[in-house]
């Protein structure tokens, strides 16, 4: 819902992009820095999105409240590039009810809360896996997380993103049935290796 009141949302979704899948499907074509040769990125933050039980707010405050250079420095090592951080602020961060610096600190806090399963730290080759296996690896690595608190995003049978649902205060995970219903299905998907 465009232009919703800032701070009026139910929970957050932390979207972690699986860079090899994103780059194969669209990022390289768009010239995304995330896909530059030699970066060898795995999971990176796509965004931290305020969410309603059904739907989500977007662009909640005038875009004149652009992040300062100091606020953008908060994104180093979290987002794959500054352009994405700025875009995410305009579309989603303005709905958090926080300043740009506080929103970006929350993005880092949310990302630091998540343990990436070891099997995804350095894939030497493309693998095939069922979505339930990938969810299971995240559940095992993150106490309190359950499959109904996350969703995988795939395109053309390739893993593109893992989305995790967090309480508004970022202290715990929470159920998000609407997101979970939009997952990858049950068949095997390809998990591309970093290049």
pLDDT band at residue 64 using 50, 70 and 90 as cut-offs: low
Check pLDDT > 70 for residue 34.
yes
Asked if pLDDT for residue 72 goes beyond 80, the answer is: yes
Contact of 57 with 95, CB cutoff 8 Å: yes
- Per the structure, the count of domains in the chain is 1
Rg (CA), the chain: 16
pLDDT in tens, 113-150: 999 999 888 777 888 999 999 999 999 999 999 999 99
In-domain check, residue 77: yes
- Asked if residue 115 lies in contact with residue 24, where contact means CB atoms within 8 angstroms, the answer is no
Q: At what angle do helices 100-113 and 82-91 cross, to 10 degrees?
A: 110
In this predicted structure, the answer to whether residue 3 has a pLDDT above a threshold of 70 is no
The catalytic site residues sit at 46, 88, 92
The answer to whether position 2 is within a domain reads: no
**177: pLDDT confidence band, cut at 50, 70 and 90?**
confident
| Domain span holding position 49 | 11-191
Q: Quick one: DSSP state of residue 192?
A: P
Query: Tell me, what CATH number does 51's domain have?
Result: 3.90.730.10
Check if the beta carbon of residue 92 is closer than 8 Å to that of residue 62: no
pTM for the whole thing? 0.92
3 inside domain: no
Q: Give me the mean pLDDT over the 14-25 stretch.
A: 91
């Amino acid at each position: 819902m465009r232009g919703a009141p800032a701070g009026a949302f139910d929970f957050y979704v932390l979207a972690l992009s699986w860079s090899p899948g994103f780059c194969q499907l669209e990022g390289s074509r768009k010239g995304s820095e995330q896909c530059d040769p030699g970066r060898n990125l795995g999971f990176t933050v796509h965004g931290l999105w305020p969410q309603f039980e059904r739907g989500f707010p977007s662009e909640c405050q005038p875009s004149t409240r652009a992040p300062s250079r100091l606020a953008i420095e908060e994104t180093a090592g979290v987002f794959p590039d500054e352009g994405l951080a700025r875009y995410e602020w305009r579309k989603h961060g303005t709905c958090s009810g926080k300043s740009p610096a506080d929103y970006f600190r929350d993005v880092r806090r949310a990302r630091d809360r998540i343990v990436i399963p070891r099997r995804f730290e350095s894939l030497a080759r493309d693998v095939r896996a069922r979505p339930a296996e990938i969810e299971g690896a995240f559940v095992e690595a993150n106490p309190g997380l359950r499959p109904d608190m996350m969703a995988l995003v795939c395109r053309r049978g390739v893993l593109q993103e893992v989305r995790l649902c967090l309480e508004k205060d970022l202290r715990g995970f929470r159920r998000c049935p609407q997101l979970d219903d939009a997952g990858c299905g049950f068949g095997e998907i390809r998990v591309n290796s970093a290049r």
